[in-house]
């Protein structure tokens, strides 16, 4: 049995444009983000997608809603798809976060090595904590036997965390631009493959 997860980051927000750490902040799409979601709709329209899962945060939810209207598919919201909670770093730029918490803390967080990196920002989540909830979500979908093609609207940190988990270790974090598509392929009982980014 194979399952296909078409996973993508939400469209752009003003915080993205300004380089501000969003994390669990509920920030809307800007106009460019809305346009990106519409372009993604064109890419996904030929796929055999049966349902859309989405983070409940506004930027991911709005991206999913644009796809849902165009593809006439239902949306299921799931908090496990939320972006990292960045704690006290939320609302700060990279430079501000480094000044406040130190470059080592920033670099450890950005390494996206969830297996060996217990570091998060004060009051926030670690990579291991986020990976645990994300894998729980994926496990639930692999265990249901009716739906085989799913779209997932989520966040850059979530996608990067998943990819670094399933692929061999990488020294540099994988860039995840807004509304760029990756495909996770699951083959029972426990094999995962990653394809992307897909133009």
Active site residues: 10, 155
CA distance 57 to 153: 10
Contact 194, 182 (CB under 8 A): yes
| Phi, psi for 77 (deg, rounded to 5) | -90, 140
Which H or E element spans position 176? none
Contact 8, 182 (CB under 8 A): yes
Cα→Cα distances 82→105, 117, 180, Å: 22, 19, 17
> What single string gives the DSSP state of each residue in 4-54?
EEEEEEPPPBHHHHHTB--TT----B-HHHHHHHHHHHHHHTTS---EEEE
Cα→Cα distances 51→37, 47, 90, Å: 16, 11, 31
């Amino acid at each position: 049995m194979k399952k296909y997860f078409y996973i993508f980051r939400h469209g752009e927000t003003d915080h993205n444009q300004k380089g501000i750490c969003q994390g669990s902040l509920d920030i809307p799409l800007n106009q460019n983000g809305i346009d990106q979601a519409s372009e993604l709709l064109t890419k996904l329209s030929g796929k055999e997608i049966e349902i859309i899962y989405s983070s409940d945060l506004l930027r991911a939810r709005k991206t999913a809603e644009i796809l849902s209207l165009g593809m006439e598919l239902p949306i299921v919201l799931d908090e496990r798809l939320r972006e990292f909670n960045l704690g006290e770093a939320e609302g700060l730029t990279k430079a501000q976060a480094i000044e406040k918490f130190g470059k080592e803390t920033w670099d450890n967080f950005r390494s996206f090595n969830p297996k060996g990196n217990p570091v998060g920002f004060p009051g926030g989540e670690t990579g291991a904590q986020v990976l645990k909830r994300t894998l729980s979500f994926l496990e639930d979908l692999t265990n249901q036997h009716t739906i085989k093609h799913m779209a997932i609207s989520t966040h850059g940190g979530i996608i990067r965390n998943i990819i670094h988990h399933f692929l061999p270790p990488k020294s540099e974090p994988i860039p995840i631009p807004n509304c760029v598509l990756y495909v996770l392929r699951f083959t029972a009982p426990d094999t995962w493959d990653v394809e992307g980014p897909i133009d």
